[in-house]
Amino acid sequence: MQAASRRYLAALAALAIGVALLIAPRVGSERVYHSPGPLPTYPAEATVLLAVGDIGSCGTDADEAVAALAARLPGTIALLGDIAYDDGSQADFKACFDPAWGTLRPRIRPAPGNHEYATLNATGYFSYFGAVAGTPGEGWYSYDLGTWHVIVLNSNCEEMGSCGSGSPQLTWLVADLAAHPAKCTVAYWHHPRYSSGHHGSDVLTEPFWQALADAGADVVLEGHDHDYERLAPVEGIRSFVVGTGGHSLYDWRRLPGPFTELRDDSSYGLLALELDDGVYRWRFVSIPGDSLSDAGSGTCR
């Protein structure tokens, strides 16, 4: 074979590998994890909320590394949906989520993702978490954490019939916000209203966003896109996409959005929020061996 032909075939092979890497998720089982390193420390009286989504898969071990990270940090754990792949069945929760995360269940406050609804009516999800996940068939609820009010929503709007005007969930949300006029409010659900990731922004969650903005909420946390993205405040609300729970990571298929401040598709980990009186401080904490570090602070409106 002539040298030019060999170079041509080599270039084609390299191109094929590059395309495969572009379109394929990077799965946790293909990675090597090192010994745990130092973690952020918090005073005993601190109020901490750990947030992460897109987690449990029997085909990876990155979710186990994220669970080990959560176990070494204090605070309530907000799960941002797609908790047990592939179908959110009772068997998936038992085999692919519970072995790593089961001991953390007393600290967990979950939100359902679309994979939970691969099982009819998300019965595996509601059965596994019980009353802490809200009323079966609904999945929205709220709680207080320190001086903050925390709202959990079900962004599977098609399964809910609607998330818009007149829907039971939006009616509940508006009433809950009116009943809890906290100085600081954080909400979380699965499908991001604003995202430059693979799935992109989900307009079906706009009614949630608008109700929260009208009430002066401060922070929204979401998953679904398997990456980390911090976005500038929109109508006064800062949001984070934290789909880095261990199932897989996806390469960027879109340019950064108009509100993107920072984004990363290379690190598994979780977002740690310290919720103080009128102030919040965030830090993305990577699992050992991954390198993303993002930290900052904001004030409540």
pLDDT value at 14 more than 60 = no
The pLDDT value recorded for residue 36 is 53
pLDDT band of 38, cuts 50, 70, 90: confident
Beta bridge partners of 270: 285
The pLDDT value recorded for residue 37 is 58
pTM of the model: 0.88
The pLDDT value recorded for residue 60 is 87
- Cα-flanking dihedrals φ and ψ of residue 118, to 5°? -70, -20
> Tell me: the pLDDT tens digits for 259-297?
999 999 999 999 999 999 999 999 999 999 998 989 999
Q: What's the token pair of residue 278?
A: 């009128």
The pLDDT value recorded for residue 33 is 45
Query: Measured between alpha carbons, how far is 197 from 211 in angstroms, rounded to an integer?
Result: 24
* Structural domains of the chain, ranges and CATH numbers in brackets: 49-299 (3.60.21.10)
Hey, what amino acid is at 297?
S
CB 126 within 8 A of CB 136: yes
Query: Measured between alpha carbons, how far is 66 from 101 in angstroms, rounded to an integer?
Result: 9
- With a CB cutoff of 8 Å and minimum separation 6, the contacts of 156 are 112, 113, 114, 116, 117, 122, 139, 190, 191
Q: What's the token pair of residue 297?
A: 């602070």
The pLDDT value recorded for residue 39 is 87
> Tell me: the pLDDT tens digits for 54-79?
999 898 899 999 999 999 999 999 99
Higher pLDDT, 289 or 107: 107
Q: Residue 62 carries which DSSP code? A: H
